[in-house]
Structure 1
Amino acid sequence: MRKLLNNLTFRVLVAITIGILIGHFFPTTAAKLKPLGDVFINLIKMVIAPIIFLTIVLGISNMGDLKKVGRVGGKALLYFEIVTTVALVIGIVIANWVKPGAGVEAAAVKGGDISAYAAQGKDLDWVKFFMHIVPDNAIKAFAEGEILQVLVFSVLFGIGLTRMGERGHSLILTFEKLSRVFFNILNVVMTLAPLGALGGMAYTIGKFGLATLLPLAKLMGTVYLTMFLFIFVVLNLILRYYRVSLWRVLVYIKEELLIVFGTSSSESALPQVMDKLENMGCSRSVVGLVIPAGYSFNLDGTTIYLSMATIFLAQVFSVDLTLGQELTIIGILMITSKGAAGVTGSGFIVLASTLTAVRVIPVEGLALLLGVDRFMSEARSITNIIGNTVATIFIANNENEFDRAKMQQAFGLLEKEELTNYKY
């Protein structure tokens, strides 16, 4: 019994259950528990930038070959574009087939104020996004948690350190020790994960209520089902190419998935997933490049949601989109879905920019989605983090930077004494 109580997975599950009950039966009290979730996420954010910086710098310096750094980065970006495009197409095809917006009365759904999102959406473009990638102040990028900017600075720092050769060895050793310190801090923070999950879930149920789901239940069900199929069909096939079990990977990161589900934030599990993937056999250099880049460029869950939400709103307002218009939507989302990386409320900003560009679906329709967006953010965040986990394993295998013996140990398939004799 004591072992069960000390299990983080069990404690997070219990916390989520308690959060749902408090949210449903004591909504006023539950809405006040939001700070619990926010504090936990802030604690995680506190170590994300340093961990990403140290992981990337150490990965590049250990890799040594700068051509290899460029090759891994290029493969990762190509993979991201292919897989997110597949996610876009799947979302649009299923939304057209199921028609979740058919029969929904726009006036019957309680919306909210979307003026801020609409205004930001009109201003969002890919030029600003690419200008935003390069920080004008590296310290500011760390202070504000700009993951993409930290990634760019870290790559440049790692390249600079590599070019120092043996003279940079002492600094590398110092960074190794600092990396361990930050992961130790992360281990301490993770003890508060149940409180974060309880606060996040209680707030969601208490603030929005289960009743808000009913008018848009078909949309929610379609989105969840599509993401389920994407994970267990598309991502499963990708891993099977290198003989890696998706199910075992999911079991291996189950604690992180539960934390993401409870907090509705993929940031809450980003550092832990990086650490687990390295322990699972992916090289530090691949993990350091792929996970932070994927955080901005490989948002499979967000991509599916955006494509389905756009078609849903077209159906609600009886806008019969032509094939050309749907292809235009795919093209726009391929750009805008990456242009709001790290921006608060990015889902609505991207939707607003897409609807503004298409000019056939009323941007005011976003108000219909406000009530259920929080409930769908769990599915988006979980799909995003699974997608980036799969991407890292795929790239590591493709680069021959994957230790299958460590994977077997992580999955619990081999005893420690067998590892010395294991061949792959």
Structure 2
Amino acid sequence: MKKLFTNLTFWVLTAIATGALLGHFYPDAGQRMRPLGTGFIDIVKLFINPIIFLTISLGISGMGDLKKVGKVGGKALLYFEVVTTFALIIGVAVAYLIRPGDGVVTTSLTGDATATGDVSKFAQEAEKGFSWWEFFKNNLTIQVLLFSIAFGIFLSKYNAKQRILDVLNYLSKYVFKALHFVMLFAPIGAFGGMAFTIGKYGIKTLLPLGKLMLTVYTTMGLFIFIVLYFILRYYKISLMKYLNYIREELLIVLGTSSSEAGLPSLMEKLERMGCSKPIVGLVVPAGYSFNLDGTTIYLSMATIFLAQVYGVELSLAQMFTIIGILMVTSKGAAGVTGSGFVVLASTLTAIKVIPLEGLALLLGVDRFMSEARAITNFIGNGVATIWIANNENDFDRAKMNYAFGHLEETEDILTDNLRFVTKEEIDKKTS
């Protein structure tokens, strides 16, 4: 029993269930819990860029062959494009097969849907068009990633680098200790996020668009348990064991509807399970912006759904246009709640055959589907990192077997003295 009450997974699950109950039975009180969820995410965000900088700088500076940096980066971008395009085609195919938009009456939904928000701001953003310059300018994670790569290359060539490396290693140790402490408050963040979502939007908003919800969740489930399963299976790695290994992070992402909430912990766990530091540092941050499998599936299905709702028969040329547009614009959708709406609005504006007002139909259920998007994105980035690490022969299977077999030691579990098993201790045990 003591073991159960000191397990973070138990507390996050309890918090999600409690938040859902509060939001359902006391909606006003549930909505007031929003600062708990957003506050937790904001605190975790503070760790993302320092961890990216430290991981990449230390990793590249210790890498003997700098050509490998470019090779890994190029391989990662190619992997992202292939897998997200595959996800896009799956989303379109399933939407055409199940046709979730057939029979949806817009007049019966308009009053409730538009009450949840205004689509004009998305239309204004869409009119500006997609700009890679704006994407890089407004994406601090990508900026930090590029700077860290440059700094790591500088360190690798700098003769008197040891003093700098000592400082970075010292900072890295305490940044992760601070992150471990913050993650103890994950149940509070999950409680606030879930209470707000259920309190504001309510279960009743799901009923009119239940077929779309079910289709999206089913498609993402198939993508995870078929496509990602076979990607890991190629290197004889169990998807289920991997999901069990990152279960705490998955629950946190579920509760907060944001993949950002679990990103720093994911980077640490991937390194603990055998992925090399440079590959984790390069692939995970880049994947956060370019490997959004869940967002890609949702955008493709939402576009076809709205076409079906309004009775728009898309020609083959228009379908290829939609796929082509989403292949580009989906890369600019950050993995946070609600970001996909601007990309979806941009897509509808570009093809000019589906009414932009249709976005109002999705506003009420978007928050619920954001959990599926965030979890799929999160799992997909971890799988990408593991695959590329194996492909580069930079994966330690002994560490993976140890991590999968000793979850209690590698998880960030609650203890009486707040002590966590460090990566160095795991390295010694698996050496």
TM-score (norm 1): 0.93
Q: Tell me what 1:13 maps to.
A: 13
Equivalent residue for 2:184, pick from 191, 196, 205: 191
Summarize the alignment of residues 213-252 of structure 1 with structure 2, pairs less than 5 Å apart. 213-252=206-245
User: What does the per-residue CA deviation read over 1:90-124, in whole Å, with 9 as the maximum and x for residues that have no partner?
Assistant: 00000000000000011212223100011101213
Residues 91, 297 of structure 2: 8 Å contact kept: yes
User: What does the per-residue CA deviation read over 1:177-203, in whole Å, with 9 as the maximum and x for residues that have no partner?
Assistant: 111111111001001000000000000
Q: Distance in 2 between matches of 1:421 and 1:224?
A: 40
SS for the counterpart of 1:88 is helix
Change (3 A) 1:160 1:238: same
SS for the counterpart of 1:63 is coil
Q: Tell me what 2:376 maps to.
A: 383
Q: Tell me what 1:303 maps to.
A: 296
Q: Tell me what 2:72 maps to.
A: 72
Q: Specify the code of the residue in structure 1 equivalent to 2:125.
A: Q
Q: Tell me what 2:267 maps to.
A: 274
Q: Specify the code of the residue in structure 2 equivalent to 1:81.
A: E
Q: Distance in 2 between matches of 1:5 and 1:34?
A: 25
Shift of 1:312: 0.2
Q: Distance in 2 between matches of 1:33 and 1:341?
A: 24
Q: Distance in 2 between matches of 1:310 and 1:420?
A: 51
Residues 147, 342 of structure 1: 8 Å contact kept: no
Matched, 1:111 2:113: yes
Q: Specify the code of the residue in structure 1 equivalent to 2:384.
A: A
Q: Specify the code of the residue in structure 1 equivalent to 2:132.
A: F
Change (3 A) 1:11 1:422: closer
Matched, 1:129 2:132: yes
Q: Specify the code of the residue in structure 2 equivalent to 1:104.
A: V
Q: Distance in 1 between matches of 2:57 and 2:405?
A: 30
Residues 310, 355 of structure 1: 8 Å contact kept: yes
Q: Tell me what 2:156 maps to.
A: 162
SS for the counterpart of 2:62 is helix
Q: Specify the code of the residue in structure 1 equivalent to 2:154.
A: G
Q: Tell me what 2:255 maps to.
A: 262
Q: Specify the code of the residue in structure 2 equivalent to 1:35.
A: P
Q: Distance in 2 between matches of 1:37 and 1:343?
A: 13
SS for the counterpart of 2:100 is coil
Q: CA RMSD in A?
A: 2.1
Q: Specify the code of the residue in structure 1 equivalent to 2:3.
A: K
User: What does the per-residue CA deviation read over 1:133-164, in whole Å, with 9 as the maximum and x for residues that have no partner?
Assistant: 2x6xxxxx8xxx71111111111111111121
Q: Specify the code of the residue in structure 1 equivalent to 2:255.
A: G
Q: Distance in 2 between matches of 1:246 and 1:349?
A: 32
Change (3 A) 1:237 1:344: closer
Shift of 1:422: 8.5
Residues 55, 284 of structure 1: 8 Å contact kept: yes
Aligned positions, number: 411
User: What does the per-residue CA deviation read over 1:339-386, in whole Å, with 9 as the maximum and x for residues that have no partner?
Assistant: 243787421100000000011101110010000000000000000000
Residues 305, 380 of structure 1: 8 Å contact kept: yes
User: What does the per-residue CA deviation read over 1:12-42, in whole Å, with 9 as the maximum and x for residues that have no partner?
Assistant: 0000000010011000111000000011101
Residues 124, 339 of structure 1: 8 Å contact kept: no
Shift of 1:415: 13
Residues 307, 354 of structure 2: 8 Å contact kept: yes
Q: Distance in 1 between matches of 2:248 and 2:171?
A: 25
Q: Distance in 1 between matches of 2:429 and 2:223?
A: 37
Summarize the alignment of residues 20-419 of structure 1 with structure 2, pairs less than 5 Å apart. 20-109=20-109, 110-112=112-114, 113-125=118-130, 128-130=131-133, 132-133=135-136, 146-164=140-158, 166-341=159-334, 345-412=338-405
Q: Specify the code of the residue in structure 1 equivalent to 2:281.
A: G
Q: Tell me what 2:413 maps to.
A: none
Shift of 1:414: 11
Q: Specify the code of the residue in structure 2 equivalent to 1:337.
A: S
Shift of 1:3: 1.2
Identify the range of structure 1 (69-78 vs 113-122) with the bigger mean alpha-carbon deviation: 113-122
Shift of 1:411: 0.4
Residues 278, 287 of structure 1: 8 Å contact kept: yes
Q: Specify the code of the residue in structure 1 equivalent to 2:169.
A: E
Residues 117, 345 of structure 1: 8 Å contact kept: no
User: What does the per-residue CA deviation read over 1:262-281, in whole Å, with 9 as the maximum and x for residues that have no partner?
Assistant: 00000000000000000000
Runs (5+) with no aligned partner, structure 1: 136-140
Q: Tell me what 2:418 maps to.
A: none
Shift of 1:168: 1.1
TM-score (norm 2): 0.92
Q: Distance in 2 between matches of 1:420 and 1:190?
A: 25
Q: Distance in 2 between matches of 1:33 and 1:420?
A: 43
User: What does the per-residue CA deviation read over 1:30-60, in whole Å, with 9 as the maximum and x for residues that have no partner?
Assistant: 1000000011101101111101111111111
Q: Distance in 2 between matches of 1:284 and 1:201?
A: 33
Change (3 A) 1:343 1:191: closer
Change (3 A) 1:251 1:360: same
Q: Tell me what 1:138 maps to.
A: none
Q: Specify the code of the residue in structure 1 equivalent to 2:363.
A: L
